[in-house]
Structures are given as C-alpha cells and as structure tokens.
Amino acid sequence: MTGAEEKNQQYDLMAVIGQIKAITGQKKEKPLAFCACYGCRQNEADTERIKGMLENAGYEITESPEKASCIVVNTCAVREGAEMRVLGNIGAFKKIKEKNPELVICVCGCMMQEEKVVDKIKRSFYYVDIVFGTHNIERFPALLLKKLKGKKRVFEVLDGSSEIAEGLPVKRNSRFSANVTIMYGCNNFCSYCIVPYTRGRERSRKMSEILKEIRGLAAEGFKEVTLLGQNVNSYNGGGGDSFAKLLGEVNKIDGISRIRFISSHPKDFSPETIKAIAECEHVCKHIHLALQSGSSRILKLMNRKYTKESFLELVEKIKEAVPGVALTTDIIVGFPGETEEDFEETLSVLEKVRFDGIFSFIFSPREGTPAAKMEDFASHDEKQARFERLLEVQNAITLEKTTACEGKVFPVLAESVSKEDERFLTGHTDGFKLVHFEGGKELIGQIVNVKIESARTWYMKGQIV
C-alpha cells in the first residue's frame, strides 16, 4: 500500500501513539527525544505538534541530541544556502548514531518535498531512518511505529495538498503565547518563492476548529495568540468566514488579551480586515505587510500583483483607520533586473511609509522558482552596497520611532529573563517593540505597564509603573 493510500485509510492517531507508548514504556528509563526546527513560524508550529505526539508516545523532550533516542529535524527550503547548512547539521548526527545504533533519526518539513533532496538522503544519508513531508505530519507516529517494529527505513512524502488533520497533540514552547495555524499553503506563486511548491495550495481550517483551539488556550491561561498562515488575508473558512470575521470572533474570547497575525499579503488586505483591526480591542495594532520592492516594475517581475502606488494607498487607508499603527515589512534587495532607479524607489517607499522595522535580504536564487532563471546584471558588491544603504535609511527611521516612545507608558507582555542581565525581563509592546525592564521572574506571562526611559534602534529600556 502506498503512503497516500495508507493516509486515506481510517487512521486512529491516538491508538498508534498508544502502541508506541507500550514500546517506550518497557524501557528502564523514559526515552528522550530531541527536535531541531529551521525556518518560519509555521515550521515552529509543526514542531510543537511533533513534540506533542512524541510526549504522548512516552518520550521526554530534551535539548541534548547526544542523550536522545529519537531525533527529529524539521527542515526549511526557503533559502538554498540554508539547505546546505541543514544537511550539514543532519550529517553531524551520524556520530551520535554510531555510538547509539538504536537512535531513530527522522527528517521532515519543506526540504523533504523536493525530490532531489529525498534522493540525496536515500543515497548518502543512510543513517536517516524516517523521512516525511509537510502534508502528512499526523502520520509521523505511524512511521515511527513501523521503524520501532523493525522496518529498516521509512520514507513517506506525499505530493500535493492534503486534508487538514485536526486535534493533534501539541507541546507549546510557551505557556502564555501560542501559535495558531489558521491556514496552510499558498496560491500566490511569487516568482522567487518555493513555498507553493513545498506546502501546496491554500487550505483554511474551519473557523469553529480555530475558535475551539483558542478557547482551550484561554482556559489554560494563554494571553497571546498569533494567527499563522502564508497569507492570512486570504483565509476562507467557508460559508463567508473571512479573516476579518475570524479576528472579530477571536476578539470575543475572554482571557486572550493580544491577537497577532502573520503574514499579510498587500493584494488581499480587505477594507473589512482594516475595520476589524481598528475595532477589535485585543487585536494588536501592528501589521507586518511585506513590500519586497518599491519598484512597480520589479513587483511585476516578482508576481506580487500590486504596484508601488496601490501599496502606498493601502498604507494610507490603514494609517487613517488605525492611528498609531506599527508597520513592519520585508524587503528583497538585488532582485534580478533591479536597477539603481528601482532600488531608489524602494528607498522612497521607506521614507514615505516610515516602517517601524524591516527584515531585509539580498536576493539569492532558489532553484525551482522562475526568478532563479531570470537574468541578473547587478554584481554582488553592488547589491551589498544597496543593502547597506537600505539599512542606513531604515535604521535612522527605526531609531526615530523608538525615540518617540521615550517618556510614554506601554503595556508590555513580560516574556523572558534578559540574557544579558538577570535583573531584567524582556517583552514586546502591542506594536511589537522590544522592551527591557527591571522585574522578577514571577511577572513572566503577565502584561505590565512600562514607562520607556531610553531608546536604541532595536530595543527600548524602561521601568514598571
């Protein structure tokens, strides 16, 4: 039977997990599992599910791969250079397996949706036991069980989009802030991006399932949820359940004080969504709106389906409806064919919009995407020089934004103890600005009012008031 046929069969996940637990329960000591995760928040959310399934199957999660009986590597395919690093890191587990032949090494995620990568693992990474893709995470326990029952190697990668598996166990990385996936896949085919090929077409979860999950989180004491999707603005839960409606419904859930969402595609940002952000008191007034380039010519080559002008119009509408909104964005520098004039258009959008922060990258071709075949005239040095100019312009704007917060009081979710100084906690404002402030561990998970005393480009310091 093929993996797809098995997947379509009635699959009792908890029964399979129970069978693994019967095996792990025979061990003298509780077996440990180590999970490595690369890439985006969606991969983080998938890894939380993998950890949840492992815990239910009798494993304890460890931070030490050397002590583990099971290692899972959740890979990311977005950047080609990073793929090589991931393969290098998987290679490092070979030594651990030589010392402990019973170790089960599993590799999953976006890279496994690429045939050439799976072939490479089959041929050269003989110590990898289990491979699965992005469309069958819920099948992981079934594959692990096969391996534990003696099968030598188990490969199950499915093509195309799949039904959404609901109700998987999950081990959250935080006890107050949770990722909630609202949709999978992407239909946009931006010319530089591999995601539609590795994660398939858009599939939205039913709104009732999302709300059930968030009500459960609220009951457990979670304060913040981040709604995840490659393009949350095109969420379609069926029967008229849009993203705007979803924001309104999540906003009604008692106990959830902060609702965040990523990522937003400018072409699908509806007036209804803007209205919902403005009206819902718990929806954070922070929008990450990926611009990528300020040149309409380059945006066309990127297949982004908006222009510089329509992006600026959208920003104006958002700023008008949501006063004080914090905006952040992504910029790709040096896309094939980008001229000095195109780059200057990007700088002019930064000057006009005055984003609170940007994530910027120098373009690197991703094999398998149309942009990888486009002619590219600018040299790496030219791109590097543009990248540095971009940062110089944006850093000044970001500092201007953080400096404007001095003397003001902001509610901040206390998230962790500062790595530099244990007397300090770190957290974020509603607008996603990083704040360090004095406070004890007992405040972690609470929203406290902090008066900002000093600002730097990437963080602010303050005192609880």
Binding site for ligand SF4 (CB under 6 A): 186, 188-190, 193, 195-196, 230-231, 265
Rounded CA separation 191/301 (Å): 7
Q: How far is the CB of 267 from ligand SF4 (least distance, A)?
A: 9
Q: In the complex, what is the shortest distance from the CB of residue 434 to ligand SF4, in angstroms, rounded to a whole number?
A: 25
- Tell me the C-alpha distance between 11 and 389, whole Å: 54
Nearer to ligand SF4, 140 or 355 (CB): 355
Q: Residue 35 or 332: which CB sits closer to ligand SF4?
A: 332
Quick one: the chain helix, strand, coil %, rounded to 5?
Answer: 40, 20, 35
For ligand SF4, which is the closer residue by CB, 172 or 267? 267
* Least distance from ligand SF4 to the Cβ atom of residue 278, Å: 24
Residue closer to ligand SF4 by CB (options 189, 359) is 189
- Residue 250 or residue 289: which is nearer to ligand SF4 going by CB? 289
What is the Cα–Cα distance from 334 to 325, expressed in whole angstroms?
29
Q: 5: exposed, middle or buried (C-beta count within 10 Å: 0-12, 13-18, 19+)?
A: exposed
The minimum distance between CB 406 and ligand SF4, in angstroms, equals 35
Question: Cβ 198 to ligand SF4, closest distance in Å?
Answer: 10
Q: Report how far residue 228's alpha carbon sits from residue 175's, in angstroms, rounded to the nearest whole number.
A: 18
Q: C-beta of 118: minimal distance to ligand SF4 in Å?
A: 22
Q: What angle is formed at CA 33 by the lines to CA 31 and CA 38, rounded to 5 degrees?
A: 175
Q: Which is nearer to ligand SF4, 230 or 257 (CB)?
A: 230
Cβ at position 180, least distance to ligand SF4 in Å: 18
How far is Cα 92 from Cα 66, in angstroms, rounded to an integer? 11
Measured CA to CA, the distance from residue 396 to residue 394 in angstroms comes to 5
Token pair in block for residue 182: 């609202």
Q: Which of 6, 36, 7, 34 is nearest to 104 (CA)?
A: 34
Hey, CA dihedral for 324, 330, 333, 336, is it positive or negative?
negative
The pair of three-digit structure tokens given for residue 343, joined into one six-digit string: 């780059």
What's the distance, CA 185 to chain centroid? Answer: 12
Contact at 8 Å (CB) between 108 and 73?
Answer: yes
Shortest distance (Å) from residue 78 CB to ligand SF4:
8
On whether the CB atoms of residues 335 and 192 are closer than 8 A, the answer is: yes
Judged by beta carbon, residue 52 or residue 196, the one nearer ligand SF4 is 196
Sheet holding 60-61, edge to edge: 60-61, 32-37, 70-75, 104-109, 130-132, 154-156
CB of 230 to ligand SF4, least distance (A): 4
CA–CA separation, 325 vs 209, rounded Å? 29
Nearest distance from residue 193's CB to ligand SF4, in Å? Answer: 3
CB of 190 or CB of 405, closer to ligand SF4: 190
How far apart, in Å, do the first and last CA atoms of the chain sit?
A: 64
Three-state SS at 396 = helix
Which one, 188 or 293, has the nearer CB to ligand SF4?
Answer: 188
Between residues 126 and 189, which has the closer beta carbon with respect to ligand SF4? 189
Instruction: Give the nearer residue to ligand SF4 in terms of CB position, either 231 or 242.
Output: 231
How far apart (Å, rounded) are the C-alpha atoms in residues 117 and 82?
A: 13
Nearer to ligand SF4, 161 or 251 (CB): 161
CA distances, 183 to each of 91, 158, 306, 376, 397 (Å): 33, 18, 22, 34, 33
Strands 258-262 and 224-228: parallel
What 8-state DSSP symbol labels residue 298?
H
The amino acid at residue 67 is: K
In the complex, least distance from residue 31 CB atom to ligand SF4, rounded to whole angstroms: 36
- Report residue 154 as tokens: 């188990």
Q: Looking up tokens 């970001």, which residue turns up?
A: 398
User: Cβ 161 to ligand SF4, closest distance in Å?
Assistant: 14
